[in-house]
């Protein structure tokens, strides 16, 4: 089953391409794709960057790395905690 990995970048470098990473480097957790797809409409409003800081986007990059900046964390959090199946 497809999945998404989420981790935290403690020392963010705006010049680095984050396309290549190891999950251990950022203490990533895996989330099944089914859960992510269920709230895809809500996360489209969320400002993010795809692979590197120079590629502004919205929501999550389905293929590759999404960088969620601090100003988008509250929206990302609200989307996650408001989704019914995640409360089980």
- Tens-level pLDDT at each residue, the chain (88 residues): 678 888 889 899 999 999 988 889 989 888 888 877 766 666 678 899 999 999 999 988 888 898 999 999 998 888 878 777 665 5
Residue for token pair 């489209």: 44
In whole angstroms, what is the distance from residue 30 CA to residue 23 CA? 9
Q: Are strands 56-58 and 66-67 parallel, antiparallel or unpaired?
A: unpaired
Of 87, 58, 61, 62, which Cα lies nearest the Cα of 75? Answer: 58
């Amino acid at each position: 089953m497809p999945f998404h990995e989420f981790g935290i970048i403690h020392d963010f470098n705006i010049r680095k391409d984050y396309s290549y990473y190891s999950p251990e480097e950022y203490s990533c957790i895996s989330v099944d794709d089914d859960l992510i797809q269920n709230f895809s409409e809500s996360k489209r409003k969320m400002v993010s960057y795809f692979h590197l800081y120079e590629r502004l986007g919205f929501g999550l990059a389905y293929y590759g790395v999404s960088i969620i900046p601090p100003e988008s964390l509250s929206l990302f959090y609200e989307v996650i905690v408001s989704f019914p199946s995640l409360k089980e």
